[in-house]
Structure 1
Amino acid sequence: MAWLKRTLTGWSYRYLRGTRAWAHARSPEIHHERLLPYASYAPWQGDQAFERALAQVQGKTLVDKYRLYELWSLARQLEHLEGDFLEVGVWRGGSGCLLAMASQRPGRQVFLADTFAGVVKAGSHDTRYQGGEHADTDIGLVQALARECGVADRVQLLKGMFPEENAERVTGQLALVHIDVDVYESARDVLNWALPRLLPGAVVVFDDYGFFGCEGVTRLVNAFVLDNPDFRFLHNLNGHAVLVRVGASHA
């Protein structure tokens, strides 16, 4: 239980009687337990292109290498599909630039949207975030990283609250959307804006699904998949929720 004590210090939680699970006091319906998957396959080991890209973005992202590899792999699998990529919640640009390095499809743009002033739209559905977190960044850091990674010509930076302030610059259809905004309302607004623009076969990745303290995003995804048969839902134990559009867009 030492891991729990370190991780949950200062947070409101309670253990579930008779189990090794716990829940946040503000989201008792979402249960957590310490996970230790038995599978040990590590495809990122020996993937030299990914290892080079990872080395370039380390320190510029809060996403661990396991989730970064999943983004890398999904981007590579989408080379056959038209459409641009969109990431909302960029921080210092690491995961967004990695997506741009992963995809070499001619003409594809990678839009990276962030307030660069911290988390916005925290509300009653959320448990940890109050707003303003992760403000230790600047659009200039992302621009510099894009140049260092050789993807500045394919990366389009959108500064401001998405989609209210800058979505008009994303004019085409989308093949991949990476939503890394930490809170319910912001994730919901991005998802609703993106839905009619997603091509069949397109992928939506939620970075914050299943993390203690990000129950708002978990609630959003759980509710969405119940009412949207045009999508298949994958819960990856690394902390991603992945939606794959299998039906046609209703735009």
Structure 2
Amino acid sequence: MRDLYAPFYQPWRSAEWRARLRVNDPLSLDCKYLLYQFMSDAVARCPGEVAECGVYRGGTAFILASRLQEAQRTLHLFDTFAFVHIDLDIHDAILAATGFLYSRMPSGAIIVYDDHGFPSCPGARAAVDTFFADKPEIPIVLPTAQCVVWKR
């Protein structure tokens, strides 16, 4: 009866929700509950996959994945990347993907680009050359028409 006068509905305080949300993660129970509910609502109303950017130890990813398993959806997790394969063919898409991923890659990580050497995909080469023009890395063209970059 101590919570009789709680100012608003707090279902995450129930034993069921505490058990479901108790994972090794610094996020508060109310934040975890809201993420779960918002994602559940979106999955019920919209087609498509689900992504989490910034995974840390995977606490919220575990909660989201448990719900997505029931919905037969895929959870994509983005944090830092040791390896990236980019096969987009189009200049702007390659430039955007590289811009997003490059800053999330540690030193020693590898990016492989497809279509870099194909005459039918001039935008692929132009995007890579443009992006790395002011970076310390030098894209290495492979005989397979691919290109590889090791991040310094």
| TM-score normalised by length of structure 2 | 0.49
Give the structure with higher Rg (CA): 2
Whichever structure has more strand as a proportion of its residues is: 1
Q: Structure 1-normalised TM-score?
A: 0.31
Larger helix share, 1 or 2: 2
